[in-house]
A and B are shown apart, each in its own frame.
Chain A
Amino acid sequence: MQMRRDIVRMVHAVNSGHPGGSLGCVEFFVALYGHILKHTPKAFTMDGMGEDLFFLSNGHISPVFYSVLARYGYFEVHELNSFRKLNSRLQGHPTTHDRLPGVRIASGSLGQGLSVAIGAAQAKTLNQDPHLVYSLHGDGELQEGQIWEAVMYAAAKGIDNLIATIDYNGRQIDGNVATVLDLGNLKTKFEAFGWTTLINENGNDLKAVIETLKLAKSFAHKGRPVVIIMHTEMGMGVDFMMGTHKWHGSAPNDEQLQRALSQLSETLGDF
């Protein structure tokens, strides 16, 4: 898939960035931006009135976010060349600061995006705008306390125009999530808080992700927030980046880039 080529080429070019989680979330982003979101890439507004909104809470997977925004027309694909470089709108972590279309909040410091998504969802309710708010979170990110403040709030206040997805790849910087700080039974936790909880066992199967997101939508406006626990493989699509946490935040060298690209076909043309 082209976006996987974008991701490894972007991080290779600046010898920094987070390829692992980005590669694991490609299908989610394609499903969301290509099949689910009602959005207007060519007429981006910060307010997002009358359209669906998406918030990336685990901002370090910016390569996949930027790639999908460019490939769906928020900005020119060649701008992916500027990722992490001086004077770029494509900062290491996404920001509104440099007015990049498609980004509505800065993220990077983890745990903040769910609260922001809730606020945007409540604004939609006040504005009588029936569109939905989506958010994506890392599994390691759930170790942040603010997430659970937000989880409690969303259920208690019946925020039902919000669909949060957890990228459950089981890995974080220091190793396996279960080893670093086990999340326990995430499904029962969300259910106990009062969320409609859906499981997607294969978050790297595009059709399955689309179906899960459609199912999640069918639960919207029913009095409860919805969460999708989406199992993915960190580093998906590049054999040597899979099955390990080591490519969470490391870039491939020249030889590794060639190995990776040999496994990823160029379908839309490289940037």
Chain B
Amino acid sequence: MQFQNTGLKDTRSGFGAGLLELGQTHPEVVALCADLTGSLKMDAFQKQFPERFFQVGIAEANMMGIAAGLTIGGKIPFTGTFANFSTGRVYDQIRQSIAYSEKNVKICASHAGLTLGEDGATHQILEDIGLMKMLPHMTVINTCDYNQTKAATRAIAHYNGPVYLRFGRPAVPNFIPEDFEFHIGKALMLKPGTDISIFATGHLVWKALEAAEILKDQGISAEVINIHTIKPFDEASVIASVKKTGCAVSAEEHQKHGGLGDSIAQVLAEHFPSPLEYVAVNDRFGESGTPEELLRKYHLDTPDIVAAATRSIARKTKPT
């Protein structure tokens, strides 16, 4: 099928809408926020379910502990704050009280990556996927548009275990159909192809589809696969795709170290060594700027995916 941009929408609003629905359907769902209710789009849930909403103030460590404790009474807590404060700031709390303790906490993180924009590097976490995927028991999801974020928010409530759900601030193309079910841990085939596998997550998925169109004009058939779940990782889909195309590109709004590309490289190294080119931030901090300016400057834009695909294809062993 052809995916259509149905308009610009922010992924965090998808989270807010999904959370509100869960409030209506799941009485055990509760929400906690560390003074960013509006930014996380949790206001509707707060308004409709005030007794199930916990404003913890600017105290994220306490928030993670309270969330862990709420699970002990059978609640399903969704914590909300920026990705930076959802991970790096509270890593030990997550590690001990949530991951090691196997608590059913959903850590929901907005404003991830460079596209947070003007606030700059202090807030633009690019290490969170790596931090979270290293934790045993943790499920790690990075959604690409409004509809997928909404569907993922609902889906993680039905899964018993700690989850990190990563989304962002800017309005981006909304293209995943509203009725698409979200399957945790299952890669989503967006466009079949034969010459190159492009694996993308988060805001760069739409750009990967744009890149595939440009490559098509160059006579290259690109396969685009959305890896929304970084962990558990859908190894089989990656291997199957690269066995067909012989080379790959990873695209993500994250550091090269520890990100999606890293997971793909591990799988390919173990099962099917093949060329892989990374579209990711390479060991740098971000800076202030508009989201689009930053994606251009840090080489996370559509032309960068096209260039990476071209490099990867060039590295394929030529048949003798």
Binding site for B on A (CB under 8 A): 46-49, 53, 55, 95-97, 104-109, 111-124, 126-127, 129, 145-146, 149-150, 152-153, 156-157
Contacts and interface: CB of A to CB of B under 8 A. Distances in A.
Given A146-B65, A150-B65, A46 B54 contact: no
A58 to B, nearest CB: 13
A116 B68 contact: yes
Given A96-B102, A114-B65, A119-B69, A146 B93 contact: yes
Given A119-B67, A149-B62, A150-B65, A112 B73 contact: no
B188 interface: no
Contacts of B239: none
B56 A120 contact: no
B51 interface: yes
A158 B222 CA distance: 58
Given A47-B74, A112-B65, A107 B96 contact: yes
Contacts of B101: 95-97, 105-106
Contacts of B283: none
B51 A126 contact: yes
Given A120-B73, A122-B54, A122-B70, A108 B96 contact: yes
B194 interface: no
Contacts of B67: 119
B72 interface: yes
**Main SS class of interface, B:** helix
State the 7 A-B residue pairs at the shortest beta-carbon distance, nearest first: A119-B69, A123-B73, A115-B65, A149-B62, A119-B66, A149-B59, A120-B69
Contacts of B176: none
Contacts of A156: 57
Contacts of A127: 73-74
B64 interface: yes
A129 B93 CA distance: 27
B30 interface: yes
Interface string B53-89: 0101101011111111111111101000000000000
Given A106-B97, A106-B101, A118-B65, A123 B56 contact: no
A109 to B, nearest CB: 5
Nearest to B55: A157
A105 to B, nearest CB: 5
Given A105-B97, A126-B30, 8 more contacts: A49-B73, A106-B97, A112-B97, A115-B68, A115-B69, A116-B97, A145-B61, A153-B59
Contacts of B74: 47, 49, 123, 127
A119 B54 CA distance: 10
Contacts of B66: 115-116, 118-119, 122, 150, 153
Nearest to A157: B54
A149 B69 contact: no
B73 A146 contact: no
Contacts of B57: 149, 152-153, 156
Nearest to A115: B65
A149 B61 contact: yes
A124 B70 CA distance: 9
Contacts of A150: 62, 65-66
A121 B70 CA distance: 8
A135 to B, nearest CB: 10
Interface in B21-73: 30, 51-52, 54, 56-57, 59, 61-73
